[in-house]
Amino acid sequence: MHIIDHDPSMAFYRLQEHVNKSVPILITRKYEIIKTNSILQGATYDIDNSIEAIKEMQKASTTFERILEMLRDSTFVKQQMDYEKSKLEQQNSSIKKKK
């Protein structure tokens, strides 16, 4: 009879013992999860911003293509101007030699 009387007390003691061992570990894991969650939220925010930036860059590609075409045209015009200038200089130097 004495054993039956103390059996619930022993169960509660074992339960308390288990809780005292488990709770600090669970609290530590809880804070680790909170920290990891915060890091993941930051990474998600960065990825979302990167995706938006890439989408905007894709929209701007036509503008960059036009700029590239204008640079090619201006380079071609500059080459023509340099050619005409050198041609004029050659003509002027040949005229001076004739005099």
pLDDT, one tens digit per residue, over 13-35 is 888 999 999 999 999 999 999 99
| Band of residue 10 on the pLDDT scale cut at 50, 70, 90 | confident
Q: What is the DSSP letter of 12?
A: H
Q: Provide the token pair at 39.
A: 């890091």
Q: What is the structure's pLDDT at 98?
A: 64
Burial of 58 (0-12, 13-18, 19+ CB in 10 A): exposed
Q: Which two tokens stand for residue 86?
A: 């050198």
In 1-99, which ranges are E strands?
none
Confidence bin at 1 (pLDDT 50/70/90): very low
Q: What is the mean pLDDT of residues 54-78?
A: 94
Which pLDDT value is given to residue 92? 79
Q: Please give the Cα distance from 39 to 41 (Å, whole number).
A: 5
Q: Which structure tokens are listed for 57?
A: 């860059």
In terms of phi and psi (left: phi > 0; alpha: psi -120 to 50; beta: otherwise), the region of 25 is alpha
Phi-psi region of 22 (alpha: psi -120 to 50; beta: other; left: phi over 0): alpha
pLDDT of 42-60, one tens digit each? Answer: 999 999 999 999 999 888 9
| pLDDT above 70 (res 68) | yes
What does the mean pLDDT of the chain come to?
A: 89
